[in-house]
Amino acid sequence: MSKKKLNIGMVGYGFMGRTHSNAFRSVSNFFDLPLEPVLKTICARNGERAEAFKNQWGYESATTDWKTLIDSPEIDLIDIASPNDTHAEIAIAAAKAGKMVMCEKPLGRNAAESEEIVAAVEAAGVPNMVWYNYRRVPAVTLAKELIDSGKLGRIFHYRAKFLQDWTISQELPQGGEGLWRLDVKVAGSGVTGDLLAHCIDTAMWLNGPIEEVSAVTETFIKARKHNLTGQMEPVGIDDASLFLAKFQNGSLATFEATRYARGHKALYTLEINGEHASIAWDLHDLHRLQYFDHSDEGRLRGWRSLHITDRDHPYMSHWWVPGLQIGYEHTFIHQAADFIEAAAKGESASPTFREGLRTDDVTDAVLESARSRAWQSVRQR
Amino acid sequence: MSKKKLNIGMVGYGFMGRTHSNAFRSVSNFFDLPLEPVLKTICARNGERAEAFKNQWGYESATTDWKTLIDSPEIDLIDIASPNDTHAEIAIAAAKAGKMVMCEKPLGRNAAESEEIVAAVEAAGVPNMVWYNYRRVPAVTLAKELIDSGKLGRIFHYRAKFLQDWTISQELPQGGEGLWRLDVKVAGSGVTGDLLAHCIDTAMWLNGPIEEVSAVTETFIKARKHNLTGQMEPVGIDDASLFLAKFQNGSLATFEATRYARGHKALYTLEINGEHASIAWDLHDLHRLQYFDHSDEGRLRGWRSLHITDRDHPYMSHWWVPGLQIGYEHTFIHQAADFIEAAAKGESASPTFREGLRTDDVTDAVLESARSRAWQSVRQR
Amino acid sequence: MSKKKLNIGMVGYGFMGRTHSNAFRSVSNFFDLPLEPVLKTICARNGERAEAFKNQWGYESATTDWKTLIDSPEIDLIDIASPNDTHAEIAIAAAKAGKMVMCEKPLGRNAAESEEIVAAVEAAGVPNMVWYNYRRVPAVTLAKELIDSGKLGRIFHYRAKFLQDWTISQELPQGGEGLWRLDVKVAGSGVTGDLLAHCIDTAMWLNGPIEEVSAVTETFIKARKHNLTGQMEPVGIDDASLFLAKFQNGSLATFEATRYARGHKALYTLEINGEHASIAWDLHDLHRLQYFDHSDEGRLRGWRSLHITDRDHPYMSHWWVPGLQIGYEHTFIHQAADFIEAAAKGESASPTFREGLRTDDVTDAVLESARSRAWQSVRQR
Amino acid sequence: MSKKKLNIGMVGYGFMGRTHSNAFRSVSNFFDLPLEPVLKTICARNGERAEAFKNQWGYESATTDWKTLIDSPEIDLIDIASPNDTHAEIAIAAAKAGKMVMCEKPLGRNAAESEEIVAAVEAAGVPNMVWYNYRRVPAVTLAKELIDSGKLGRIFHYRAKFLQDWTISQELPQGGEGLWRLDVKVAGSGVTGDLLAHCIDTAMWLNGPIEEVSAVTETFIKARKHNLTGQMEPVGIDDASLFLAKFQNGSLATFEATRYARGHKALYTLEINGEHASIAWDLHDLHRLQYFDHSDEGRLRGWRSLHITDRDHPYMSHWWVPGLQIGYEHTFIHQAADFIEAAAKGESASPTFREGLRTDDVTDAVLESARSRAWQSVRQR
């Protein structure tokens, strides 16, 4: 008995084009889903590379014009994995055409852009989701379940960091293929939108809304050669972004992201301290959750290193056997599975575009606080 | 331009049937290979489940009789992922039919069986490989490169353990689906062939031949209900197996495997101490390699925790970006890639069936030493 | 040949009275010093307990009036280990009497108090030192040496936390013996002066002056029973204190201290990221230093866990043999040794009272920033 | 009120002379004991160094002839911290003189020597103890309490290693000051008596008697210059010693000690796996105990890292405050405290000389098994 197809038009063939394609190509091997995702068409600006990507991943066709995906009656879902400055136009057009829309994070380059995107998908009533993949790390999903079950009690503290070190060299240029994240016109911001956005999405999912922030940002290297012009040009992005925050539930937080933390490649860490228990996690050992439970017998209290590979851990019954770890790419597969479940019912999956907008409201407040050197309230909507 | 196909007949749809199928289904997305693997036919005893497996993984057809794979001119490669007692018959038939043959470890239930298998593939001259997948953990492959480059110098010590805890309960039955590893007639031995075989394969790859062993084994639970008879029956397997070893290079070793180490699911650990440097690794954090280099400045010497996710680490340029870890299943994908490269040239990939036989020579010596309570020489061939 | 004596008058017999007494009693067993410290007189308010403490530690006499120490010609050094509200009066009197003075941190309850103390010791020209003991953890001292030698290059980031969980219960009272740290009149502030002061002292020692801060504080439990009055009284201290900072060298920082971080007893952590190398350390494993060196061969780069027990590590040649760790109390012994070396030459040891004042300038700015909700410049002197 | 004195005559001023002296000098500051230990006389062969040691540690007198200690009516306790070849003669003389006797491990150079020593102290009825200090690491003591309370249930596995790397260089001589451990005539054996003896003492304390062993030893460097003769001489000690063991309770074990494990200074590790729980510990982080409890909620099971610094942890109420770690030397202080408690009642403390003999019975069996290449029963007494 064959399932109903979910025909996918993918925009973008970079790092994120690969992770999304892999997710849709593998998800049915591990999850029993109501729809069968089909890699229908890949769209990329460079025709030759679009063709190569098509062959590598088994897409049925390739195109260099994303509008053909919008116009095609065969495409059910537009998945946007292209640079940030393309998100709004494509997402709005897709929504208007009645397509389901998925978008790599951040949703827009700023909240104003995201607001327009949200208006479009909500007007069209199409299923949508932002790819904040780290919610679907099984360890992080388990953290959410523990918090929601009341295991931690009242929350006092939250802290998150996202540390990288790949832009320390002055020789690294900005702009163009693979380096558009350094070009403020394309990216919208630096680490605030790229890395802190992840931290903020997870934080609000786990710990509720953020009310106000005090931030500082820095651009350590002031000018870099631009790949598209060949000229030295001012660097417009933030290299580092740090902020203090108050959550609506009264807890206090520190957040930090940087690409100048020597020794760390993609070290996203989070810790949350509650009245009864605490949780810590990091992306470099994503298959582990650190857990401390004050209700343990006094002399036997200690941080437990949970190896999140058992069948009763979130998503893990779909994978191998206890003790055998999964990796980064699986977070996208989980998210694809959850989206397909929701989409089959005509619904969005979390984080929806509206949730993505709320994260952008925080990043906007962070950047504004850094500019104004004052505490900034976060718009609540 | 389309590639030449490599049509695969898979025997077995259990845990290993899944890992092998996933490897062949994904490998071309990440590796540029000379042959295109095709999931042609899945063979399993139960027709309904074979059909379901076919649909789940996208095989073109399903069968309940492995001999149809042997007879089919369409099949290029027979991959044996069924229980140990089936390996010899299928592998020998496949070789005689001129098929390439891959076999899940251990090759035979004992060295005598393996010897026949090796004779068959060598007589037929067909490419072959045993799925000792842990060699292809990037961290372990890097260990091999470091040792071969002379970084460690003269080797003094090797130690390996494989610790599990899933059979501690007396209530667990033996035999049948999922539990054939507890049935000595099917499995050949207990942890010696199941877990120590992995440790031995890696050890001889990294550190050369083992000359002699002194072993002890234990069966902690003497009788279990048998799923096929419904009766309590004596347990014939070894629950735990420990041995001392001398390598040809003069180094000393301890090896241990058990399914009674509470708190460990699949904790394969290895450490190797050389004159100039040492290496340690474990499967619960398989993306890390521990490395100590005595040539570091004295006061700054320490064990380095290498996060094996950089582009210059073995296999890792094929995956994501630095800092993002892969998992267990990728070791099979790497092994599939290496086999396909070799097979396109009509060659076997390592570990060949002959190498698999050498591992069985060691496990035979271990079991014999445990029986005889005496040091036992390992047959060298 | 007998050495010149250094006769000590100790004020305070609590936790810090014990660590200081132990330091002076043991230091000569491990360090060859120019002066022989003598535990001359212990002073404490409660005569019976002063006597017991005298016997326990081998003091020659006990008193309940610290002024007798000031007046005694036999006393060379006044060491102040009593609650914060006693520091100024005793220190100033001691300086005026020409005694050497040591003081447990923080120096005063605020910078204004500390300024008077500094004026007094500088006018008198007496050797002085504040007991910021964590500088003398060998791992931290090694960090200082590495930074000063240029191993890290330009510094981009500093982060420090001091996490505890001992005041989470509403049932815990404030005030009196052992709990004066919760009484703002005695302590001056909460975690800012108690815990952040340690973080700030180390930070400025390692990374130079702090220019400005943006802070937030919180008092999670608003009222507690006061032990001296028996009444519920408002809690005046800060339970948690977090701040962003800019250092003079252009690096950015986050600092955080709290007594509401479930699972942490005394987790002081610091990390510093430089252009070429990074360093991390924490108090729960104080005998280890984490070190990452970008100049290591690319594929072998990783965080090194240095076990700071070798003879070429700071202070460690005085202790046992490589591999054998020391603990918390030894930091006081090291500080006593360094002070005695300096005192024999009529000099102060670092951190001097003036350095202690500079730390209080930062904590003042932190508290003011939290009150004003604005960035606050740190007074530089 | 002054306590009864316990006058100590210490033999030996090397590494162990220091740890013992420190223990007796400090113990009364932290423990409220029935006797007051007094550092009466230090004995060492070299008069000048004996005098210096006396001054450094505050002994009342020094001597170069241990027999003066035996003869002195002032001495209550003879503590033997000199090389192994002196233990028997001194201990037997001390016992005959009615002195209490303490002895650094191992008791004798072999079980025959130890048997004579035990006969002497038991005939004399004098309190005695061997300094197997690692039992008094609070984490190890807690392990003992947990095992005895039944938390682990039936024990399946024990493993212990003691890894060092200080003798890898061929240039290192043997014999004389600081290097007598390499001289078989003085030491009795190599790592078997030096390092494995520790592992065995702890193991039998935690897990009961060892019944039989199969061992292998190796001397990697066959000849070294001898410091006393100036000549190259054959090396008589074992550089590495590994053995399999069966305990009386049916559990299986591996033991290993070596001085050729690059990267490890004093890495004594132990792990014990029981039906319900497991425990692991190592000397490089001696203030932590790893604990896994299968009775934890399924998805929240994990190894707990217990920071053994709380007041309800063994011995820790005598030290600082929670979170602040102690170190190596404290194990001797704990042992001194326990001995003094026992001695005040005329009793021995554990491990008694008889227990020390039992450990020597195991090391004898290990060495004999290595010689005979056969399983060897351990003498039970």
What lies within 8 Å, CB to CB, of C121 at 6+ separation is C91, C95, C101, C128, C353
Tokens representing B170? Answer: 């007396």
> Mean per-residue pLDDT for C196-201?
98
Tokens representing D259? Answer: 């001085």
pLDDT for A368 equals 98
Q: Which residues of D touch B298 (CB under 8 A)?
A: none
| Helices marked H in C258-352 | 330-344
Residue from B36, B164, B285, B289 to probe the interface with A (highest A Cβ count within 10 Å): B285
Residue B25, domain member (yes or no): yes
Residue B248, domain member (yes or no): yes
Q: Answer whether residue D1 shows pLDDT above 70.
A: no
- On whether the CB atoms of residues D263 and D282 are closer than 8 A, the answer is no
The string over A118-150, giving b where at least 16 C-beta atoms fall within 10 Å of a residue's C-beta and e elsewhere, is bebbeebebbbbbbbbbbbbbbbbbbbebbeee
- On whether the CB atoms of residues A29 and B57 are closer than 8 A, the answer is yes
Give chain A's residues under pLDDT 70: 1
CB contact under 8 A, A244 and C246: no
pLDDT tens digits, B131-185: 999 999 999 999 999 999 999 999 999 999 999 999 999 999 999 888 999 999 9
Residue C301, domain member (yes or no): yes
Phi-psi region of A125 (alpha: psi -120 to 50; beta: other; left: phi over 0): left
CB contact under 8 A, B29 and A25: yes
pLDDT tens digits, D234-272: 999 999 999 999 999 999 999 999 999 999 999 999 999
Half-sphere exposure of D373 (CA within 13 A, CB side): 11
Note whether D248 and D305 are same-domain residues: yes
Chain C: list its partners (3+ Cβ pairs within 8 Å).
A, B, D
Note whether D183 and D234 are same-domain residues: yes
Tokens representing D223? Answer: 């000849």
Residue D381, domain member (yes or no): no
Ordered strands of the D128-131 beta sheet: D61-63, D35-43, D4-11, D77-80, D100-104, D128-131
Chain B residues with a Cβ under 8 Å from any Cβ in chain A: 15, 18-19, 21-22, 25-26, 28-29, 56-58, 164, 166, 264-267, 283-288, 307, 309-310, 319-330
Q: What is the CATH number of the domain that holds B8?
A: 3.40.50.720
Q: Which residues of A touch B320 (CB under 8 A)?
A: 15, 18-19, 328-329
The residue out of A99, A134, A169 marking a domain boundary is A134
What lies within 8 Å, CB to CB, of B293 at 6+ separation is B151, B276, B277, B301, B304, C300
pLDDT tens digits, A221-276: 999 999 999 999 999 999 999 999 999 999 999 999 999 999 999 999 999 999 99
**Average pLDDT score, chain C:** 97
d(CA A254, CA D19): 45
- On whether the CB atoms of residues C10 and C81 are closer than 8 A, the answer is yes
Q: Which residue of B has its CA nearest to C295?
A: B296
Chain A residues with a Cβ under 8 Å from any Cβ in chain C: 156-157, 159, 161, 163, 165, 168, 214-216, 218, 220, 240, 242-244, 246, 250, 252-254, 256, 258, 260-264, 273-278, 292, 294, 301, 303, 373-375
Tokens representing B330? Answer: 């990728």
CA quadruple C160, C165, C171, C176: dihedral sign: negative
Of A216, A281, A284, the C-alpha closest to A244 is A216
pLDDT for D365 equals 98
Of A218, A205, A212, the C-alpha closest to A362 is A212
CB contact under 8 A, A306 and D305: no
Of A59, A71, A21, A65, the C-alpha closest to A46 is A65
Give chain B's residues under pLDDT 70: 1
**Out of B289, B296, B304, closest to residue C303 by CB:** B304
- On whether the CB atoms of residues D309 and D325 are closer than 8 A, the answer is yes
**Out of D284, D323, D327, closest to residue C265 by CB:** D323
d(CA C113, CA C107): 8
- On whether the CB atoms of residues C363 and C197 are closer than 8 A, the answer is yes
Note whether B78 and B215 are same-domain residues: no
CA quadruple D260, D262, D268, D270: dihedral sign: negative
- On whether the CB atoms of residues D332 and D22 are closer than 8 A, the answer is yes
pLDDT for B1 equals 53
CB contact under 8 A, B328 and A330: no
Of C86, C76, C108, the C-alpha closest to C4 is C76
Residue C116, domain member (yes or no): yes
- In sequence order, the β-bridge partners of residue D280 are D271, D290
Residue A160, domain member (yes or no): yes
The residue out of D109, D132, D155 marking a domain boundary is D132
3-class SS letters over chain D: CCCEEEEEEEECCCHHHHHHHHHHHHHHHHCCCCEEEEEEEEECCCHHHHHHHHHHHCCCEEECCHHHHHHCCCCCEEEECCCHHHHHHHHHHHHHCCCEEEEECCCCCCHHHHHHHHHHHHHHCCCEEEECHHHHCHHHHHHHHHHHCCCCCCEEEEEEEEECCCCCCCCCCECCCCCHHHCHHHHCCCHHHHHHHHHHHHHHHHHCCEEEEEEEEECCCCEEEECCCCCEEECCCCCEEEEEEEECCCCEEEEEEECCCCCCCCEEEEEEEECCEEEEEEHHHCCEEEEEECCCCHHHCCEEEEECCCCCCCCHHHCCCCCCCCCCCHHHHHHHHHHHHHHHCCCCCCCCHHHHHHHHHHHHHHHHHHHHCECEECCCC
pLDDT for C237 equals 97
Write out the residue range of the structural domain in which residue D162 sits. 135-351+357-376
Residue B381, domain member (yes or no): no
- In sequence order, the β-bridge partners of residue B198 are none
Note whether A103 and A208 are same-domain residues: no
- On whether the CB atoms of residues C315 and C334 are closer than 8 A, the answer is yes
Q: For chains A and B, what is the number of CB pairs under 8 angstroms? A: 98
pLDDT for A1 equals 53
d(CA A280, CA A263): 20
Note whether B122 and B159 are same-domain residues: no
CB contact under 8 A, D302 and A300: no
Measured N-to-C along each axis, helices D15-30 and D47-57 cross at an angle, to the nearest 10 degrees, of: 20
CB contact under 8 A, D28 and C286: no
User: How remote is the C-alpha of D77 from its chain's centroid?
Assistant: 19
Predicted TM-score (pTM) of the model is: 0.97
Note whether C145 and C256 are same-domain residues: yes
pLDDT for B176 equals 87
Tokens representing A217? Answer: 């940002």
Do the strands C128-131 and C100-104 form a parallel or antiparallel pair, or are they unpaired? parallel
Q: Answer whether residue C274 shows pLDDT above 80.
A: yes
CB contact under 8 A, C306 and B304: no
Band of residue C1 on the pLDDT scale cut at 50, 70, 90 = low
Q: Which residues of C touch D19 (CB under 8 A)?
A: 320
* Alpha-carbon torsion angle D12, D17, D21, D22, nearest 10: 170
CA quadruple D344, D345, D346, D349: dihedral sign: negative
Q: Which residues of A touch C157 (CB under 8 A)?
A: 240, 256, 258, 260-261
Note whether C176 and C129 are same-domain residues: no
Q: Which residue of D has its CA nearest to A296?
A: D296
pLDDT for D2 equals 74
Of C220, C227, C211, the C-alpha closest to C241 is C220
DSSP output for C189-232: SSHIIIIIHHHHHHHHHHH--EEEEEEEEE-SS-EEEBTTT-SE
Note whether D161 and D227 are same-domain residues: yes
Note whether D287 and D305 are same-domain residues: yes
User: How remote is the C-alpha of A37 from its chain's centroid?
Assistant: 21
Q: What are the φ/ψ torsions at residue D6 (nearest 5 degrees)?
A: -120, 100
- On whether the CB atoms of residues D96 and D120 are closer than 8 A, the answer is yes
Q: What is the CATH number of the domain that holds B220?
A: 3.30.360.10
The residue out of B132, B150, B172 marking a domain boundary is B132
Residue D89, domain member (yes or no): yes
d(CA D42, CA A321): 62
Do the strands C100-104 and C77-80 form a parallel or antiparallel pair, or are they unpaired? parallel
Note whether D145 and D79 are same-domain residues: no
Note whether C155 and C40 are same-domain residues: no
Note whether A110 and A197 are same-domain residues: no
Q: How many domains does chain A have?
A: 2
